[in-house]
Chains A and B, each alone.
Chain A
Amino acid sequence: MVPETSTPAASGTPPPAIALDLVTRRFDGTRQVTALDQVSLDIPRGEMVSIIGPSGSGKSTLLNLIGGLDRPTSGRVRVDGEALDGLSDDGLTRVRRDKIGFIFQFFNLLPTLSSVENVGLPLHLRGWPRARVAARAHELLALVQLGHRLQHLPDELSGGERQRVAIARALSIYPPILLADEPTGNLDTRTGGEILALIQALHARLGSTVVIVTHDLKVAASCGRTIALRDGRIVEDVRR
């Protein structure tokens, strides 16, 4: 099979960070739901994109497909030019742990691990030596201004602090792609603003590609590009 590229003419230019080609995702339950319906989308490297849309419009599904947490029913997802459909479960995991950082609405920190341990988790999973893991975790926690909360358990942190730990964890591998699913959805407005500012600062500093799902139009407006979803289709795609 000849590998196709989305931009065959410009073979010299690097592939987009994220490319979706007629991606459909259906859920077969008691009733069938088409969460994403033939969505095609390119996100170039270094872009910061916000995704908006009403609840149930398929935003999370889109993000999960990009992150390789889920597989499309049909269509193809490429990350850094690599097609995800041919990959095994562990293959997907490798893409994820080398290229993608995840930030969830509900933080998803492991309750029994301290901040440092949570942040070091992806690094340990990659088999890094302890000392290096510790150094990187300290560095990142300092970056998210949590240098004083190293040994705290998630339970002992505020919502904003927890999300910052989660961000530090997502950044621990210096991922080229950062995916955030309503990162401020569970925080009050002020803390939400701070977290967003942090993500933007990191984007500027690390040059990662960022995809952020949000309900907050102000957040959306602060991104270079906004994609609106409805009933599993892209209804709007604007660059500012």
Chain B
Amino acid sequence: MILLRLISWPYFRRHVLRSILTIAGIVLGVAVFVGMHTANQSVLYAFSRTVDRIAGKTELQVTAGETGFAEEVLERVQSASTVRVAVPVVEAVADTRQRGIGSLLVLGVDMTGDRSLRDYDLESGDEAIVDDPLTFIAQPDSIIVSRALADRLDLGAGSGLPLLTAEGEKRFTIRGVMKASGLASAFGGNLAIMDVYAAQKMFGRGRTFDRIDLALKSGRTIAEAQAELGALLGPGFQIDPPAGRGQQFEAILAAYSMMVDISSLFALFIGMFIIYNSFSIAVTERRAEIGILRALGATRRQIRWLFLGESAVTGLAGSLLGLGFGLLVARLIAASIGVLISDVYGVARQADEIATNPALLAAALAIGLATSVAAALIPARSAARVDPVQALQKGRHQVLSAGESRARIGVAAACGALSLACLAAPRMAPAWVGGSRAIFYLGYLLAILVALLLSPLLSLMLARALRPLLKRLRPVEGALAADSLIQAPRRTSASVAALMLSLALVVAFGGMARASYDSIIDWLETALNPDLFVMPSQNIVVRTIRFPPGMGPEIAAIDGVERVQMVRDARIVFRQTPVMVVAVEIDSLEQTARRDPVEGDAASMYRLTAAGEGLMVSDNLAQLQGLKIGELLEIPAPYGVIRLPIVGIVVDYSDQQGTILMDRQVFRKYWQDDSVNVFRVYVRRGASAAGVRQRIVERFAGERQVFVMTNAELKAYILRVTDQWFGLTSVQIAVAVLVAILGIVNTLTVSIIDRRRELGVLKAVGALRGQIRRTIWIEALSIGGIGLALGFALGAVNLHYLLQMIRYDIAGMRLDYTFPVNVALGLVPAILAAALVAAIWPAESAVRRSLVEALEYE
């Protein structure tokens, strides 16, 4: 590889900027890949670590979704032959009302048995209290906190700690402080432990537990225990190792993961194009050099290996840098998606540590390297084919040959036809082929391939179409800028392709965001129409604190209240996936928020569901799980299996995984639970919502903790959460702008080298600096413009596929196709500005170049 040092290194040194741009292509691809995946994993990791810490030595957990179950289940579990110890747990989220501290996870446990599973690791001196658990239990205000929390609150053993509970603000007494390790470090220390029976009362649970944690007798396997307990408890319970909760969380993250995958795939593709661009330019530029090497006896093989070697070195350097950047990016992204953990626990927990996965990093390195080498394959081959005699003569090598264009069109037509066939497959082919997701994704891939194949020809056509226009605008600068694009399509096309890909992604994400927005807003307007929502916590997703049903009539009696609806929602496990059950008084709901079903008959739907003779499911659940109207659902619950038909399918975005709507009586029967998560309150005509809100708060002051949200506040909250999901779009826009800059700088740098002579002549015959600059700016703007046009076209196609993916594979949302005109219009100035920025440096260097040298004959 002496050639690398002798030939490549000097070339690199002469073209530092361009080499950096080339490397940047790979850095970009690898960084997005590493960043997004690491962020994803970090969040998962943070979650599972939290689960582990809270689980202690627990081997199995018995749950019934998150609905909880009656106390008597504990005795049944304890009676199982495989179980050594089983302890009850109530988990709840309580607000400290302290700025900068926020919510705590309160773990209600049975002090007498729990320490055989969890080590509280109390600080010396506190042991006494827990050694005699009865003292702890005898005082229901007893609480144990973590060292970190004690420090942050500046409290110690014996101090009082006020917490918001279902019964209003309660004063607890800290009876012990856990050392900062293990359990105490879950949620960064925002954790407190109290007696399970005290917790039941404080958090409005009645006589239920959320969970039973258990350890097995020695010699008994997890499988044995699962089988025994399964038979003992019936299908309404889940018996899983603590890690199972991680899987549940993964399911919630699935949509996000899918987006991440698409984004990183596009990023790598784009990186590949930037590399391909640089290398094919380098080959053209170094033809003479290659010719000399060949004349001196270098074999084709050696030439090819020279270029592949260069690309490998570039790929390696880029990948290493990309890893670094990726980990930085991961930190940012993880912070934003860490909030999702609160969807499960109610305590916001960011992934403060980045889970660096060696396997992922190695994979990224390999992918970066492979992408780089793959991108250089074609240029390396054409370098090896350079004819030594021809190379030493000057000529034009940049033009697309007619043969190549025809070949491209041919392949593109074939791919396009196949892609269309894939699109039509669901309607035409037999179900086992047509319904296959593989066919769908194949069609998607082919569609992108077609775009890539055609992009050089299309950009050439667009440049030709643009020429008269530019010439009208600026007879010299405009015409020459267009000519520059027309003369060297290779120089331009890879940049255009990269730009096209990244813009297509932005447009599709933008379109998806727009459509989901419209759809969600539509749902908000019709379904969430009460004036006030009365909740036990400030945090909407917290379902761990609940109200007793008796509060319903009490609220209804308040002056100005027209109607109160009791809602109980809980996540359960249905067909192995977590879905949301929403139990409401259906007949009342029909009167206030009657909606037309997507499928089914409105009148009978409400009648049957209200009578407890049917269920309504959300459209997204139906899409994701392939549910049909009339289908008999089996929903295992703690008190038996619900067997009811689907009588209506409605649009409902309460949950991403899907929602099952039932009447409150059905829930009460199968869960023996009449608690309430939210009261929907309608205000009497003429009464002020603010006044009613005030009266509700006053009515329960000191007795219960109530938070009253107005309709507008709730909507704003939901839209904010939705925004977080589409935060990815802004990352994509940033990437697109970066790609535009990278690609255009790359192309222009070469363009001004190629056009040295031309620019020199221009100057010699009287072009001012401003005029030289202008022709380069116009070239940049044209590349940007062509990229935008193709990006919008591919984006329109991409959006179709993305919506299909959303519908069938991600969220089950049936979204209307509307091209995101706003996003597109916003991109135009962004990309054109990026193009201008990219042109600054090349334009200056063109202006500065010595005239005499430019005009020198070869």
A→B interface (CB under 8 Å): 64, 67, 69-70, 89-90, 93-94, 96-97, 102, 104-106, 108-113, 117, 120-122, 124-126, 130, 133, 169-170, 173
**Cβ-closest 10 pairs across A and B:** A97-B766, A112-B483, A124-B475, A122-B765, A124-B476, A108-B761, A69-B851, A122-B766, A125-B766, A70-B852
Closest to A117 in B: B479
Stretch in B767-775, B791-799, B805-813 touching the partner? B767-775
For A67, the closest partner residue in chain B by CB is B764
In the assembled complex, the CB of A192 is this many whole angstroms from the nearest CB of chain B, namely: 17
Bound form: Cα–Cα A3–B311 in Å = 60
Alpha-carbon gap, A104 to B764, bound state (A): 10
B: number of interface residues (CB 8 Å): 27
B residues in contact with A69, CB < 8 Å: 764, 851-852, 855
A125→B765 contact, CB < 8 A: yes
A105 to B487 alpha-carbon distance, docked (Å): 24
Q: Collect the chain B residues with CB atoms within 8 Å of residue A97's CB.
A: 765-766
Contact B761 A110 (CB under 8 A): yes
Contact B855 A125 (CB under 8 A): no
B768 touches A121 (CB 8 A): no
B483 touches A96 (CB 8 A): no
Q: With A70-B851, A112-B483, A113-B483 as given contacts, are A121 and B765 in contact (CB-CB < 8 Å)?
A: yes
- In the complex, whether B595 has a CB less than 8 A from a CB of chain A is no
A112 to B770, CA, bound (A): 21
B479 touches A113 (CB 8 A): yes
Provide the residues of chain B in CB contact with A122, threshold 8 Å: 765-766
**Contact in complex: A108, B766 (CB < 8 Å):** no
Closest residue on chain B to residue A107 by CB atoms:
B761
User: Is the C-beta of B376 less than 8 angstroms from some C-beta in chain A?
Assistant: no
CB pair B476 A108 closer than 8 Å = no
Bound: A102/B765 CA distance, A: 7
- Closest chain B residue, CB of each to CB of A95: B766
Contact B764 A133, beta carbon cutoff 8 Å: no
CB distance from A13 to the nearest CB of B (A): 29
**Cα distance A70–B733 when bound, in Å?**
45
Q: Which residues of B contact A112 (CB under 8 A)?
A: 479-480, 483, 486-487
Q: Of A93, A96, A109, A110, which contacts B480 at CB under 8 A?
A: A110
Interface hub of A109, A112, A113 (most chain B Cβ within 10 A)? A112
Is A121 in contact with B857, judged by CB distance below 8 angstroms?
no
Residues 749-774 of B at the A interface (beta carbon under 8 Å): 757-758, 760-771
Q: Apart from A90-B768, A108-B855, list 19 A-B contacts with CB within 8 A.
A: A64-B852, A69-B851, A93-B763, A93-B767, A94-B766, A96-B764, A96-B765, A97-B766, A108-B757, A108-B761, A108-B764, A112-B479, A112-B480, A112-B486, A112-B487, A113-B483, A122-B766, A124-B476, A133-B475
Residues of B within 8 A of A67 (CB): 764
Cross-chain contact B766 with A126 (CB below 8 angstroms): yes
Point out the residues of chain B lying under 8 angstroms from A90, CB to CB.
768-770
Closest to A97 in B: B766
For B483, B764, B768, B851, which residue has the most chain A Cβ atoms within 10 angstroms? B764
Interchain CA distance A104-B760 in the complex, whole Å: 12
What separation, in Å, do the CA atoms of A64 and B757 have in the docked complex?
A: 15
Query: Chain A residues with Cβ under 8 A from B761's Cβ?
Result: 108-110
Contact A93 B475 (CB under 8 A): no
Within 8 Å CB of A93, what residues of B? 763, 766-769
What are 10 of the A-B contact pairs (CB < 8 Å)?
A64-B851, A69-B764, A96-B764, A96-B766, A102-B764, A112-B486, A113-B480, A113-B483, A121-B765, A125-B768
How far apart are B147's CB and chain A's nearest CB, in angstroms? 70
- Distance of A83 Cα from B771 Cα, bound (Å): 24
Q: Binding site of B, secondary structure by majority: helix, strand, loop or mixed?
A: helix
- With a cutoff of 8 Å between Cβ atoms, the chain A residues found around residue B760 in the complex are 108
CA A96 to CA B769, docked complex, whole Å? 13
**A89-B769, A97-B766 are known contacts. Are A121 and B476 too (CB-CB below 8 A)?**
yes
- Complex CA gap A170/B762 in Å reads 12
With a cutoff of 8 Å between Cβ atoms, the chain A residues found around residue B764 in the complex are: 67, 69, 96, 102, 108
Given the complex of chains A and B, what is the CA–CA distance between A113 and B851 in angstroms?
21
- Chain A residue with minimal CB distance to B764? A102
Query: Given the complex of chains A and B, what is the CA–CA distance between A96 and B757 in angstroms?
Result: 18
Measured CA separation A94–B767 after assembly (Å): 8
Closest Cβ of chain B to A223, distance in Å, is: 23
The smallest C-beta distance from B441 to any residue of chain A, in angstroms, reads: 43
A121: B residues at CB distance < 8 A: 476, 762, 765
- Min distance, Cβ A152 to any Cβ of chain B, angstroms: 16
- B762/A125 in contact, CB under 8 A: yes
Assembled-state Cα–Cα distance A64/B847 (Å): 18
Nearest-CB distance from A235 to chain B (Å)?
Answer: 24
Give the distance in Å from the alpha carbon of A170 to the alpha carbon of B850 in the complex. 21
CA distance A90 to B480 in the complex (A): 20
Q: Which residues of A contact B757 (CB under 8 A)?
A: 108
Q: Which residues of B have CB within 8 Å of A106?
A: 857
CA–CA, A108 and B760, complex, Å: 9
Cα–Cα, bound, A102→B487 (Å): 26
Task: Kindly state the separation between the CA atoms of A111 and B396 in the bound complex, as whole angstroms.
Answer: 11
Do A104 and B855 contact each other (CB < 8 Å), given the known contacts A93-B768, A112-B483? yes
User: What residue of chain A has the Cβ atom nearest to residue B852's Cβ?
Assistant: A70
Q: Which of A97, A105, A117, A124 has the most CB of B within 10 A?
A: A124
Q: Report the separation of the CA atoms of residues A3 and B700 in the bound assembly, to the nearest whole angstrom.
A: 96
A109 and B758 alpha carbons, distance in the complex (Å)? 8
Please indicate the chain A residues that have their CB under 8 angstroms from the CB of B771 in the complex. Answer: 125
Complex contacts, B480 vs chain A, CB 8 Å: 110, 112-113
Distance between A53 CB and nearest chain B CB, rounded to angstroms: 17
Closest chain B residue to A64, Cβ basis = B852
Cα(A160)–Cα(B196), bound, Å: 102
Residue ID in chain B nearest A129 by CB atoms? B475
How far, in whole Å, are A102 and B763 apart by their CA atoms in the complex?
A: 11
Q: B residues within 8 A CB of A89? A: 769, 847
Nearest-neighbour CB distance to chain B for A218, whole angstroms, equals: 23
Q: Would you give the 0/1 interface string for B779-820, flagging 1 where the beta carbon is closer than 8 Å to chain A?
A: 000000000000000000000000000000000000000000
Among B483, B760, B768, find the residue whose CB has the most chain A CB atoms closer than 10 A. Answer: B768
CB distance from A189 to the nearest CB of B (A): 20
A95 to chain B, nearest CB (A): 9
| Shortest beta-carbon distance from B481 to chain A in Å | 11
Give A173 to B765 CA distance when docked, in angstroms.
Answer: 10
Bound CA span A133–B768, Å: 18
Interface centre among B757, B758, B852 (most CB of A within 10 A): B852
Residue from B475, B483, B758, B771 whose CB has the most chain A CB atoms within 10 Å: B475
Whether the Cβ atoms of A110 and B758 lie closer than 8 Å is: yes
Q: Is the CB of B487 within 8 A of A125?
A: no
Measured CB to CB, the nearest residue on chain B to A106 is: B857
Tell me the bound Cα distance from A112 to B482 in angstroms. 10
Q: B480, B758, B857 — which one has the most chain A CB atoms within 10 A of its CB? A: B857
CA distance A144 to B767 in the complex (A): 24
Residues of B close to A120: CB separation below 8 A: 475
Considering the chains assembled together, what is the distance between the CA atoms of A42 and B771 in angstroms? 33
Nearest B residue to A185, CB-CB = B857
Residues of B within 8 A of A111 (CB): 487, 758
Nearest A residue to B847 via CB reads A89
* A93, closest chain B residue (CB): B768
Contacts of A70 on B, CB cut-off 8 Å? 850-852
Separation of A130 and B478 alpha carbons in the complex (Å): 14
User: Which residues in chain B, 255-269, are within 8 Å of chain A measured between CB atoms?
Assistant: none
A40: shortest Cβ distance to chain B, in Å? 22
- Which residues of A lie under 8 Å from residue B850 when comparing CB positions? 70
Bound CA span A105–B855, Å: 10
Determine the residue in chain A with the shortest Cβ distance to B765.
A122
Q: Which residues of A contact B768 (CB under 8 A)?
A: 90, 93-94, 125
Which single residue of chain B is at the shortest CB-CB distance from A155?
Answer: B396
Nearest Cβ distance between residue B402 and chain A, in whole angstroms? 17
A109: B residues at CB distance < 8 A = 761
A105 to B189, CA, bound (A): 82
Q: Mark B485-512, 1 if CB is under 8 A from A, else 0.
A: 0110000000000000000000000000
A130 to B486, CA, bound (A): 23
Q: Which of B698-754 contact A (CB under 8 A)?
A: none
